[in-house]
Structure 1
């Protein structure tokens, strides 16, 4: 049996035991890590068991070890696992503008190591910042990437209004394109300033930008062409959707962004640079 198959067998054995005998499952994984210390899947399985058991201290140590020992693994995937295991807070994140301003103005060289409390209030904002940095690279290139640009708009809500200038840059790019498609818009964008800006883009003064923000809007356009005219029905659907979205502006932003990370995990990973 090859080393890879040995590792897979040990991990599978631990998974089979974890619900009935967590201690036995951990024993299998400790043995596995001793035999194969360079196998990422063993380390990740140990972290998953500790995270699911809500043992935050040991889960945090294992996650840190993964970042140090397996730098070639997709870090954002691991971060999304962390976000998926968080419990959303009932209050919006509190930002210390003085401290964040100092941190941004201070130049850093080399690697950046941060020690954070193992709480959703501390970890989620950090994960959002990392994802934002990844998507920003693709969203504002010369080539068109509506999906990354849409993700950027969603994530900019977290740092609002500090990110307003970058949001306006995104709006300028959409105007230059003349159209924009992001079907998750009404699922996750609840910022009233952003909603007003996108509503304005549909007007004559805003340039009559073609926005496809509703799920399956291409099919809706085809349907309305037959039943109610080429764009009349779609405009009405957009107006009603925007009105409903305005009523969600008081929704907890932490909950919205947490849901974005969990529900869209696969598409986020696929669209990473």
Structure 2
């Protein structure tokens, strides 16, 4: 008989004697097994029998020592008995507290587990992970242990995070992401770990952005539909909480919490301060990437949503387009500086701040090649492409890139209407040295395609700020008509101010301007004063279409004043029927009472029409007098 066989026979003998004595004499049984243990410390059967005795005696601490020794000694190829014991242990740990009973075996495992060292506890988890076919099951178990035994947090949290992040692309994606964001991240927020790798933290940040932006931008995959009750403010708060805790873990300069009442300019100033403090280049600093991306997408979301507003159960869309200064100035030449943005109620200065903040973040994140690549990759993982595409159109206009603007607008995925395209194209012509025929044709297309929704006239459509100006214009009938009329009036006025050899057309220009500025009078009172001052200086005014188009009470009263004023020598021709007589007689202070009556009757007739809708009248004038307007503007 070999020595090995003799030792094995002795071990089996001692184990057998110990088992026989268990029921009648526990002390003798323990003596037998301790003898076997001393002779064969590396025999699994002996060590497991020792463990079973301590377990039967409810000796939690000693049983923990025995179990720990077995785990450490036989970890590479654990025998089946040990595997079954691990399963029983983990099953007991999973059991809800309400199901615990001191008389049950499960209670022993829970108590014993608390006496096991963190190192052995971790080996138990690794064994479970190795033998489990379900990674989500392993993650749930580790999370349960951390909640039951907080002392395990520092040891097991990194392993749990690694496992969850690795499995977000598996078949358990939904549950892993939800566990990570709804159960594990709150634990991290309460007690941030200090030993997580930067790459793991970056991945957690990205997953948080992906999930919550899916909620915010309403592009959530169907499998997440049970969480759509997360409102945008809640989602933004959670995104900024994740950014904050990840920043603390990586020792970044603190950013700001989410507060919907704060201007986004406050966040931009903080980000700009962080960039100025950065000891490394932006391309090497991930905090700039993530801080800048978060601020960009929250500004982008609020900006695009602000461009669609509900008014009296109707949705009104706004677009950002070029507009003009109140006074004439030399044409603006490239390169264009960033423009002044004109705002109005409902689309106020905060909308302009949202847009500018998004622009500033975009430019920061495009400031060098490495940062640009990282930002592009991160942005592609976020479900906000439709918002980004709309923003890029406005960005191209804002930066004065007409070719890029037209290319983007022709992208069929944007679904840009012909009205919006033509209106934007029209706005691009405002920087040309003169108003050209193609621009006039674009205006005609816009006016032919006006929406039925009226809305109100906008208060601010031009500016006195030098340089480029842009305005948030509602895509409704009155503001668009107001915008086009403003361009026409300003063009005609410039033509009149520069008039030298074609002075014969000044009456038609003045008359056309009077018709057009009725649209939003008295906001055009300065232009009206300019027109009547020109008429006084000319000492004559002929406009045969007066009776067809002039119905503004203030204008009618002014013409009546010019006629009745004893000191006036102005000759007026205001209708085809009375043109000859008025030319002959008004200069004699109205000595012919019949002519006075004819003039007063004309004014009374026009005054009676003062309550007519002005928009159809203006549109009719532009349509009917299209050729005349082209001749006045283009000398054709």
Aligned to 2:628: 267
Question: Unaligned stretches of 5+ in structure 2?
Answer: 1-414, 586-590
Superposed displacement of residue 220, structure 1: 5.9
User: Which of 492, 502, 526 is the matching residue for 1:135?
Assistant: 492
Task: Provide the aligned length of Structure 1 versus Structure 2.
Answer: 206
> Residue 125 in 1 paired to residue 482 in 2?
yes
Q: Does 1:94 align with 2:456?
A: yes
* Residue 131 (structure 1) shift: 0.5
Which of residues 71, 75, 79 is equivalent to 2:443? Answer: 79
User: What is the alpha-carbon distance in structure 1 between the residues aligned to residue 629 and residue 443 of structure 2?
Assistant: 12
- Secondary structure of 1:157's aligned partner: helix
Change (3 A) 1:61 1:152: closer
Retained in 1: the 8 A contact 2:552–2:610? Answer: yes
CA contact (8 A) 1:180 1:212 kept: yes
Q: Which structure would you say has the larger RCO, counting Cα contacts within 8 Å and 6 or more residues apart?
A: 1
Cα distance in 2 between the residues matched to 1:135 and 1:222: 26
Q: Secondary structure at the match of 2:564?
A: coil
How far off its partner does 1:184 sit? 1.4
For residue 256 of structure 1, report the CA deviation from its aligned partner. Answer: 1.5
SS at match of 2:601: helix
C-alpha contact (below 8 Å) 2:549/2:621 kept by paired residues? yes
Further displaced range: 162-171 or 263-272: 162-171
Q: CA deviation at 1:218?
A: 4.4
CA RMSD, Structure 1 to Structure 2 (Å): 3.6
- Deviation at residue 247 of structure 1 after TM alignment: 0.5
Question: Matches of 2:543 and 2:452 in 1, distance apart?
Answer: 25
In the TM superposition, what whole-angstrom CA distance separates every residue of 1:93-147 from its partner, at most 9, and x where no partner exists? 62343xx17x5144433xx666755542332111111111110112344643111
Report if aligned partners of 1:184, 1:214 keep a CA contact under 8 Å in 2: yes
Mapped partners of 1:86, 1:96: distance in 2: 16
- Counterpart of 2:530? 169
Query: 1:218–1:83: structure 2 CA closer, same or farther, 3 Å change rule?
Result: same
2:533 and 2:524 map into 1 onto residues whose CA distance is 14
Q: Which range is displaced more, 57-66 or 76-85?
A: 57-66
Change in 2 beyond 3 A, CA 1:105/1:271: closer
Aligned partner of residue 257 in structure 1, secondary structure: helix
Aligned residues of 2:582 and 2:595 also touching (Cα < 8 A): yes
When structure 1 is superposed on structure 2, of 179-188 and 151-160 the one drifting more is 151-160
Kept in 2, the 8 Å contact 1:88–1:255? The answer is: no
1:257 aligns to what?
618
**Bigger mean CA offset, 128-137 vs 205-214:** 205-214
CA, structure 1 residues 65+82, in 2 after alignment: closer, same or farther (shift >3 Å)? Answer: closer
Larger mean Cα displacement after TM superposition, 210-219 or 169-178? 210-219
Question: In the TM superposition, what is the alpha-carbon distance from 1:149 to its structure 2 partner?
Answer: 1.1
Task: Give the Cα separation in 1 of the matches to 2:532 and 2:442.
Answer: 31
Check whether the contact 2:542–2:572 (CA below 8 A) recurs between aligned residues: yes
CA distance in 2, matches of 1:222, 1:211: 6
Seen in structure 2, the aligned counterparts of structure 1 residues 231 and 147 have a Cα distance that, compared at 3 Å, is: farther
Q: How far does residue 80 in structure 1 lie from its aligned partner after superposition? A: 1.9
What secondary structure does 1:271 align onto?
helix
- CA gap 1:127/1:153 in 2 versus in 1, 3 angstroms: same
Q: Partners in 2 of 1:162 and 1:187 — Cα distance?
A: 22
Per-residue deviation, residues 150-200 of structure 1 (Å, max 9, x unmatched)? 111112222321222321222122112111011112211111011000111
**In terms of mean alpha carbon deviation, does 187-196 or 231-240 score higher?**
231-240
Contact in 2 for aligned 1:183/1:214 (Cα 8 Å): yes
Q: In the alignment, is the contact (CA less than 8 A) between 1:139 and 1:146 conserved in 2? A: no
Q: Secondary structure at the match of 1:272?
A: helix
CA distance in 2, matches of 1:177, 1:190: 23
Alignment CA distance shift 1:107-1:268 (3 Å): same
* TM-score normalised to structure 1 length: 0.62
The answer as to whether partners of 1:150 and 1:182 remain within 8 angstroms in 2 is: yes
Cα distance change, pair 168–122 in 1 and its aligned pair in 2 (3 A): closer
Query: Does the aligned pair in 2 maintain the 1:84–1:262 contact within 8 Å?
Result: no
Q: Is the 8 A contact 2:515 2:549 kept in 1?
A: yes
Matched, 1:60 2:424: no
Structure (1 or 2) with the larger CA radius of gyration: 2
Partners of 1:231 and 1:269 lie apart in 2 by: 39
Alpha-carbon distance between aligned partners in 1 of 2:631 and 2:508, rounded to the nearest angstrom? 11
Residue from 209, 213, 221 that aligns with 2:574: 213
For normalisation by structure 2, the TM-score amounts to 0.29
Aligned to 1:104: 463
| Residues in 2 aligned to 1:165 and 1:247: alpha-carbon distance in whole angstroms | 25
